[in-house]
A and B are shown apart, each in its own frame.
Chain A
Amino acid sequence: MAKIEFRNVVKRFGTVEVIPDMNLVIEDGEFVALLGPSGCGKSTSLFMLAGIYLPSGGELLFDGHVVNEVEARDRNVGIVFQSYALYPHMSARDNILFPLRFKKTSRDQALARVKATAELVRVEELLDRRPSELSGGQQQRVALARALVKEPQLLLLDEPLSNLDASLRLSMRTEIKSLQEQLGVTTVLVTHDQIEATTMADRIICMRAGQIEQVGTPDDLYLRPSSLFVAGFIGSPPINLMAGEAAGGTVTVGGAIFPVEGASGSLTIGLRPEHLRFAETGFAGRIAQIEPMGREILYVVETGMGAIRVLEQGSSVAHSTGEQVNIDFHPENSLVFDTQRQKLITGAHVRAPD
């Protein structure tokens, strides 16, 4: 198990700077998720940890020791690639056995460990099959077993669930999470699926174009997103963002006037769909679309400031399209961002118009 640290890490491919300056500490035994849109440098960061890429600058530390120059094979890192990267010409058993070939383990001991690890991820029945004879979920478990069998000090998972169907993804999510808790291994999960990140990780590192936007617990990122980007990226259905001008204690957005506290200038109001509710007061709109989502119903409401998403609990549709409604919210739940700097203004809130 190890404590991981990025100190001013830079990664360039030729002249392209993919990661300009990364600073991050991952505690021993922690489960963190690297979350961000495609191409933001998640895999690149992961591969630097694994020793596949050499950082172009800065320092990478395992337990306080600089490991920049340490070879991949000496880092004792288990990695599950997005494609699983199982060795196609080997049986599942030989795949899991492969990392032990390079350790001083006797054959019997190695086989025993393969068996134990296979039981852990529940693939003991499949050990004689080739990867091509396994389903996606089974392959993923074999890949996980291969990463775990060497008892790594750091486990890296590069979008391990992206190839699975929805229900398998759900069950693998809980399985990986409980496995990680059981083994206590420091784990970095790369994903662009925010639900995966919020359900599995202790902390989320939200990245954008090679830079860390925010680090925090799932709640932090959800309730107190530090920037417009994080606010927009986290949450499903996505947050409602409305840009307006503040003057004299009110923000004017597309005809509606919101009283505001603690901010002025160009502002963007952020309101999560689930924090909005239909009421007698509030800003007015007309329901344009209704999307039942099982236990919730998503209403798309046409208002003066554009389409606003409202999420209501319950499974019965209480409104109909074309209906005129008023939308209200609790001021505590509103987020106010500085439009220029794209940052959250802490302590600032808006109220719904009366």
Chain B
Amino acid sequence: MAAQAIPMASTAASEPTVDWDALATRARLARRTKATVLYAFLIAVSLPIILPYFWLVTIAFSAKTGVAETAVLWRSMAVVVPAVIAFWLSAALAQGRRQLWIGLTAVAAVAALAFAVLVGPDLHLGNFIFLWEPDFASVVRSRVGEVKGAVQFPNVWHAFGNSILIAGTQTVIVVTVASLAAYYLSRFQFPGRSSMLRSLLVLHAFPVLTLIVPMFLMLYWIGLLDTLSGVILVLVAFELPFAIFIMKGFFDAVPWDIEMSALTDGASRRQAFVSVVLPQVRNGILAIAVFTFIRGWEEYIFVFTFLIRNSNWTMSLYMYWVRDDVMGVDYGVVSAVGVFYLVPSLILYMAAQRYLMQMSIGGVKG
């Protein structure tokens, strides 16, 4: 007993000597180190992703026909890489919010100035010639004295419209069908329900490429080959299972009793669905809408296989042929088309980001 009491007494005696300030400093230091390491890691892994996009944009706005030089690229890198590091340092070193804002603003100002001086003079919009000149391929080729054999490009706005049409229609169909199907799967018991659920996932596991030949034959026989609606149908078929699966998760998370409550409050099943259930799965609908749209926007394999006439080209085909035709001559134009192709997805993501961030697969927050 006595032997046990001694160490207890000694800890009790040493307690008043604890240096709280030192402990706090150490904790603060540890926290800061952790944050710094984390940021360094995030920057290291995001650079290989961000750099190519950055190059794409730089090339699109600076490259000149027939000139294969990378000086602008290096000069812009010389601005961006230090700027990123300075951002990170000021974020890590700042004490408090005010300093952080001042630091970030200063870094941004310096970077903008350096960019304007080092890269600014080389920037131009000439590579976006395809936006106003449908036969830009011939124009670009003639600059280097190579006139023959240019591909007959459709107007880029036509390809843009086709892409919007495919992605948009597909999205509307997928969202509508997936919502209704998922609601039914989530709420009603019927023979074959569980096997249907299982097959939804299996369907998604199929590599779509394996089905391309039978799909081609089917489209040919029903006369939808080389039509936008054919491609839309194929895309819808491949996108639906996963969308249904995601939406089912969202519907499962909607409590059953608010729906019953709506029914006793005098709503019909349809009114209850629209006014009470749908608002609860808004984030899910938004998510599948965004993903489906982007999936349709970037679709390449199917449009490449099933669309032939150049009036049916989508942006991805347009991009492909631009690369095929003028890459050797003018990679500035190729990059510009790439940027143009990228912008709608980017805008869409940015607009929907706030909602997508709130989403966890299969449920709504709050």
Q: Is the CB of A89 within 8 A of B279?
A: yes
Contact of A73 among B265, B276, B280 (CB under 8 A): B265
- A86 to B255 Cα, complex, angstroms: 10
Indicate which residue in A73, A82, A83 contacts B267 across the interface (CB closer than 8 Å).
A73
What 1/0 mask marks residues of chain B from 12 to 49 whose CB sits below 8 Å from any chain A CB? 00000000000000000000000000000000000000
Interface 0/1 of B220-245, CB less than 8 Å to A: 00000000000000000000000000
Interface of A is mostly: loop
Q: With CB as the reference atom, state the residue of chain B lying closest to A132.
A: B366
Tell me if A51 and B265 are in contact (CB < 8 A): no
Structural contact, B265 and A102, CB atoms closer than 8 A: yes
Q: Do A102 and B267 touch (CB < 8 A)?
A: yes
- Say whether B257 contacts A83, CB under 8 Å: yes
Q: Which of chain B's residues has its CB closest to A78's CB?
A: B264
Residues on the B chain within 8 Å of A121, using CB: none
Are A79 and B279 in touch, CB under 8 angstroms?
no
Which of B257, B263, B275, B279 is within 8 Å of A72, CB to CB?
Answer: B263
B263 touches A52 (CB 8 A): yes
> Complex Cα distance A31/B261, Å?
21
Give a binary string over A31-75; 1 marks a CB under 8 Å from any B CB, 0 the rest: 000000000000000010011100000000000000000011101
**Using Cβ atoms and an 8 Å threshold, which residues of chain B touch A229?**
none
Flag whether A222 is at the interface (Cβ < 8 A).
Answer: no
In the assembled complex, A278 has its CB within 8 A of some CB on chain B: no
Q: How far is the CB of B225 from chain A (nearest CB, A)?
A: 45
Q: Quick check: A85 and B255 within 8 Å, CB to CB? A: yes
Contact with B along A126-153 (1 / 0, CB 8 A): 0000001000000000000010001000
- With contacts A85-B255, A88-B280 known, is A73 near B260, CB below 8 A? no
In this complex, the member of B258, B275, B279 whose beta carbon has the largest number of chain A beta carbons within 10 angstroms is B258
Known A-B contacts A83-B255, A87-B258, A132-B366; A52 and B264 likewise in contact (beta carbons under 8 Å): yes
CB distance from B261 to the nearest CB of A (A): 4
| Contact A89 B271, beta carbon cutoff 8 Å | no
Kindly state whether residue A295 has any CB partner on chain B within 8 Å. Answer: no
CA distance A71 to B268 in the complex (A): 9
For residue B266, CB closer than 8 A to chain A, the reply is yes
A75 neighbours in B (Cβ, 8 Å): 264
Least Cβ–Cβ distance between B260 and chain A, in angstroms:
5
| Nearest chain A residue, comparing its CB with the CB of B364 | A88
What separation, in Å, do the CA atoms of A99 and B262 have in the docked complex? 8
In the complex, residue of chain B having the shortest beta-carbon distance to the beta carbon of A76: B266
Which residues of A sit under 8 angstroms from B261, Cβ to Cβ? 79, 81, 85, 87, 146
Q: Contact mask B272-304 → A, CB, 8 Å, 1/0?
A: 000110011000000000000000000000000
Size band of the interface chain A makes with B: 20 to 34
Distance of A81 Cα from B261 Cα, bound (Å)? 8
A-B contact count (CB 8 A): 63
Q: Contact residue range for chain B?
A: 10 to 19
The chain B residue with its CB closest to the CB of A146 is B265
Nearest to A83 among chain B residues (CB) is: B257
Instruction: Out of A47, A88, A150, name the residue touching B266 (CB < 8 Å).
Output: A150
Which of chain B's residues have a CB closer than 8 A to the CB of A86? 258
Q: Are B268 and A85 in contact (CB under 8 A)?
A: no
Q: How far is the CA of A98 from the CA of B260 in the complex (A)?
A: 13
Q: In the complex, are the beta carbons of B257 and A85 less than 8 A apart?
A: yes
Inter-chain contact A73/B263, CB cutoff 8 Å? yes
In whole angstroms, what is the CA distance A75 to B257 when docked?
Answer: 17
Task: For the complex formed, measure the closest distance between the CB of B365 and the CB atoms of chain A, giving whole angstroms.
Answer: 11
Are B255 and A73 touching (Cβ within 8 A)? no
Q: Report A184 CB to chain B, min CB distance, Å.
A: 20
**Given the complex, which residues of B lie within 8 Å of A82, measured CB to CB?**
257
Contact present for B266 and A99 (CB under 8 Å): yes
| CB neighbours of A132 from chain B (8 A) | 366
- Nearest residue, chain A, Cβ from B278: A89
* Distance between A146 CB and nearest chain B CB, rounded to angstroms: 7
Contact of A81 among B257, B271, B276, B366 (CB under 8 A): B257
Enumerate chain A residues within 8 angstroms of B262, measured Cβ to Cβ. Answer: 87, 98
> A261 CA to B342 CA in the complex, in Å?
95
Asked if A73 contacts B268 (CB within 8 A), the reply is yes
Q: Which residues from A are CB-within-8-Å of B267?
A: 73, 98, 101-102
Within 8 A of A (CB), among B146-192: none
Given A81-B257, A83-B257, A88-B280: A102 in contact with B263 (beta carbons within 8 A)? no
Within A95-122, the residues touching B (CB, 8 Å) are 98-99, 101-103
Which partner residue on chain A sits nearest B277 by CB separation? A87
Task: Name which of B255, B257, B267, B280 has the most chain A CB atoms within 10 A of its CB.
Answer: B257
Residue pair B280, A89 in contact (C-beta under 8 Å) = yes
Residues of chain B with a CB closer than 8 A to A73's CB: 263-268
Q: CB-CB < 8 A to A79: which residues of B?
A: 261, 264
For the complex, give the distance between the alpha carbons of A101 and B265 in Å.
9
Interface residues of A in 302-351 (CB under 8 A from B): none
Kindly state whether residue A189 has any CB partner on chain B within 8 Å. Answer: no
Interface centre among A73, A81, A150 (most CB of B within 10 A): A73
With a CB–CB cut-off of 8 A, which chain B residues contact A71?
Answer: 263
Given contacts A81-B257, A102-B271, A132-B366, are A87 and B276 in contact (CB under 8 A)?
A: yes
List A residues at the B interface (Cβ < 8 Å).
Answer: 47, 50-52, 71-73, 75, 77-79, 81-83, 85-89, 98-99, 101-103, 132, 146, 150
The contact sample of 11 A-B pairs, CB cut-off 8 A, is A73-B265, A81-B260, A85-B257, A85-B261, A87-B262, A88-B280, A88-B366, A98-B267, A102-B265, A102-B266, A132-B366
Contacts A73-B267, A85-B255, A87-B276 known; list 7 others, CB within 8 Å: A50-B260, A72-B260, A73-B264, A73-B266, A78-B264, A83-B257, A89-B279
